């Protein structure tokens, strides 16, 4: 049970990382102020180009995939 709680907290914190904002800031652009104002990969792609957009997309996919892989590695299976 303790691992479930700590894993849930870790997942929440990992999911809260706004990679679109971080990549935009690294490029010197506030992505919330350009295009649609969304911080997702599509707006980053439009505002900063395909390399930055693909990077945000890949980071977001890895963010979601990492928890699933960690669960399988920890031995969690579907009941």
Cut 0.85: pTM above it: no
Domain ranges of the chain: 2-73
Indicate the angle between helix axes 50-73 and 19-26, nearest 10 degrees.
Answer: 140
**pLDDT higher than 90, residue 8:** no
User: Is the CB of residue 38 less than 8 Å from the CB of residue 53?
Assistant: no
Residues 5-18, mean pLDDT to the nearest whole number: 81
Angle at 15 between CA 38 and CA 48, to 5 degrees: 35
**pLDDT tens figures, 15-69:** 889 999 999 999 999 999 999 999 999 999 999 999 999 999 999 999 988 888 8
User: Is the CB of residue 40 less than 8 Å from the CB of residue 29?
Assistant: no
Comparing 14 with 25, the larger pLDDT belongs to 25
Reported confidence tier of residue 1, pLDDT bands at 50, 70, 90: low
pLDDT at res. 74: 74
Instruction: Please give the full DSSP string across 57-70, using - where no structure is assigned.
Output: HHHHHHHHHHHHHH
């Amino acid at each position: 049970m303790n691992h479930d709680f700590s894993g849930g907290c870790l997942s929440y914190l990992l999911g809260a990382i706004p990679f679109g904002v971080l990549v935009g800031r690294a490029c010197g652009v506030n992505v919330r102020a350009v295009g649609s104002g969304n911080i997702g990969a599509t707006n980053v792609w439009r505002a900063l180009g395909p390399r930055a957009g693909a990077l945000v997309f890949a980071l977001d996919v890895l963010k979601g995939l990492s928890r699933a892989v960690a669960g399988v590695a920890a031995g969690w299976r579907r009941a």
